[in-house]
């Protein structure tokens, strides 16, 4: 059966395909771009979980198929958890990774002590069925924020987050290395048994 990936973020889609395939999910995975008539979801929730559920329900209702969604972001301790759910549009324009990253580094420019540059990525992974049933789980990746972007893999804030216990940034890890430890990997590996239980 088909499972909709309720996202238009190409970085997420390629990670999700790998994570879900590695976890043994055999459903045909179709991105939201295959349904251009479905309008962009307004992310009006105040938590990652709420926004992930909004996206999953919108696509499930519109397509009549089960849908999974990812709402994620970077939470910086010294900024009180910002950018958080606003990570994709921190500098203004939605999805401008370069501008978001430059703004974040500028905001942290005066903080030299690594103990005050701690942050984590959070990912909420939601499943929604056309009949309204829903599930949501979360994953986290903790790390420290570098002063300069390094590496060219991944997307978003990957070039500045160095996971705890790593000497490389997320953007220097291979996709498989990142998925093995990432917030997205943790959340979607936890969602797979739930997908199996509800869909099979
Ligand atoms: P969809 O709503 O279509 O899924 P989006 O990019 O708008 O795509 P979000 O609202 O969940 O998705 O925003 C996620 C942002 O958080 C993303 O644009 C990045 O800036 C950041 N982010 C999330 N996961 C990340 C990761 O694994 N590595 C780096 N940055 C990440």
Do 121 and 141 meet the contact criterion of CB atoms below 8 Å apart?
Answer: yes
Options 33, 70, 71, 96, the catalytic residue: 71
Q: What is the DSSP letter of 81?
A: T
User: At residue 200, does pLDDT exceed 90?
Assistant: no
Write down all domains in the chain, each with its CATH number in brackets: 2-199 (3.90.950.10)
Which of 50, 72, 143 for mutating ligand 1's site (highest number of atoms within 8 Å of CB)? 72
Of the CA atoms within 13 Å of residue 111, those in its CB half-sphere come to: 19
pLDDT at 67 exceeding the cut of 90: yes
Is 71 known to be catalytic? yes
Residue 174 in marked binding region: no
pLDDT single digits (tens) 86-97: 999 999 999 999
Pocket test for ligand 1, best of 12, 67, 91 (most atoms within 8 A of CB): 12
Check if the interface score ipTM surpasses 0.85: yes
Answer for the pair 119, 76: CB distance below 8 angstroms, yes or no: yes
In terms of pTM, does the model score above 0.90? yes
CB 154 within 8 A of CB 72: no
Identify the H or E element spanning 137. strand 134-145
């Amino acid at each position: 059966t088909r499972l909709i990936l309720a996202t238009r973020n190409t970085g997420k889609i390629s990670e999700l395909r790998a994570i879900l395939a590695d976890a043994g999910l055999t459903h045909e995975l179709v991105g939201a771009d295959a349904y251009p008539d479905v309008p962009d979801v307004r992310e009006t929730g105040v938590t990652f979980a709420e926004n992930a559920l909004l996206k999953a329900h919108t696509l499930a209702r519109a397509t009549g198929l089960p849908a999974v969604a990812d709402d994620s972001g970077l939470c910086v301790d010294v900024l009180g958890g910002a950018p958080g759910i606003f990570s994709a549009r921190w500098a203004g324009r939605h999805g401008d990774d370069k501008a978001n990253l430059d703004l974040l580094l500028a905001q942290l420019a005066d903080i030299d002590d690594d103990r005050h540059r701690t942050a984590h990525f959070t990912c909420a992974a939601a499943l929604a069925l056309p009949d309204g049933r829903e599930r949501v789980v979360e994953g986290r990746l903790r790390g420290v924020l570098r002063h300069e972007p390094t590496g060219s893999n991944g997307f978003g804030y990957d070039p500045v987050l160095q996971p705890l216990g790593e000497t490389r940034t997320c953007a220097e890890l291979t996709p498989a290395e990142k998925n093995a430890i990432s917030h997205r990997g943790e959340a979607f590996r936890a969602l797979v048994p739930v997908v199996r239980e509800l869909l099979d």
